[in-house]
């Protein structure tokens, strides 16, 4: 099964337990470096969390974007963590990383999906910051991804997430945000279980890839 993270450092303990109960990773199992939110990787914050949780609680972490010496220092100091190399350019050297991440936002990379699949052959692929403006079957091409879909719809929009691209405004019902969040997490889990039942067999995956990347 694909590895999935629902990252949010502001989650309460109850929310993290909720996420973990349904098979997803959250903080601190998955550490983001906040490159998207702050415009640069927060190396000091990452160091602090690794010192606190790096003894075995962290499973995946996004290496600091463009900070190549820091990437490899962290990787050397915490070799048991699955470090994801955030690939922005095909010119970057990710050869010593097992996991390579493709940013969801096209402006943050100088390559398309087809190129990514070609240059990462033999690597494990992570889809960084997934949102709904894609065909969800593209997830078949990755070994893991992170998304804020359940949390954004509950906390920011006050909506229940029903299915890919389908949601409902329930602000008039007076439901606590935590209940909406729990509904969204469960709904997202059910969606993924149904989706991956459709995943092509290994023998048919190549033809699926060819069809799926056309027009990306």
Give exposure, 137-149, as e/b (b: 16+ Cβ within 10 Å). ebbbbbbbbbbbb
Local mean pLDDT, 10-residue blocks, the chain (216 residues): 86 89 94 78 90 92 95 96 97 98 95 95 97 92 96 93 96 91 96 90 58 48
Question: What would the pLDDT profile of 62-79 be if each residue is shown by its tens digit?
Answer: 999 999 999 999 999 999
What's the predicted TM-score (pTM) here? 0.91
The pair of structure tokens assigned to 92 is 């970057």
C-alpha 71/C-alpha 94 separation (Å) is 10
Domain that holds residue 164: 3-213
pLDDT of residue 110: 95
Beta bridge partners of 85: 100
pLDDT of residue 9: 67
Which contacts qualify for 63-69: CB closer than 8 Å, 24 or more apart?
63/33, 63/97, 64/33, 64/35, 65/33, 65/35, 65/40, 65/41, 66/41, 67/41, 67/43, 68/93
CATH of the domain at 206: 3.20.20
C-alpha 175/C-alpha 22 separation (Å) is 21
C-alpha 189/C-alpha 195 separation (Å) is 10
The pair of structure tokens assigned to 156 is 């920011």
Question: What would the pLDDT profile of 158-193 be if each residue is shown by its tens digit?
Answer: 999 999 999 999 988 889 999 999 999 999 999 999
Number of domains forming the structure of the chain: 1
């Amino acid at each position: 099964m694909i590895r999935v993270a629902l990252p949010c450092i502001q989650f309460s303990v109850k929310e993290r337990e909720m996420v973990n109960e349904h098979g997803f990773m959250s903080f601190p199992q998955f550490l983001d470096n906040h490159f998207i939110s702050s415009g640069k990787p927060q190396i000091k914050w990452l160091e602090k969390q690794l010192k606190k949780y790096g003894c075995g609680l962290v499973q995946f972490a996004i290496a600091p974007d463009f900070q190549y010496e820091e990437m490899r220092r962290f990787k050397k100091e915490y070799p048991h963590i699955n470090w994801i190399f955030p690939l922005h350019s095909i010119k970057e050297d990710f050869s010593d990383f097992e996991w390579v991440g493709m940013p969801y936002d096209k402006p943050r990379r100088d390559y398309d999906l087809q190129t990514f699949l070609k240059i990462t052959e033999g690597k494990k692929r992570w889809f960084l910051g997934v949102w709904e403006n894609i065909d969800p079957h593209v997830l078949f091409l990755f070994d893991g991804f992170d998304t804020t879909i359940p949390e954004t719809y509950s906390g920011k929009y006050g909506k229940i997430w029903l299915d890919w691209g389908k949601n409902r405004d329930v602000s008039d019902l007076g439901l606590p945000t935590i209940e909406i969040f729990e509904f969204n997490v469960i709904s997202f889990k059910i969606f993924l279980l149904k989706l991956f039942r459709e995943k092509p067999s290994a023998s048919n995956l190549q033809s699926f890839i060819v069809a799926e990347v056309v027009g990306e």
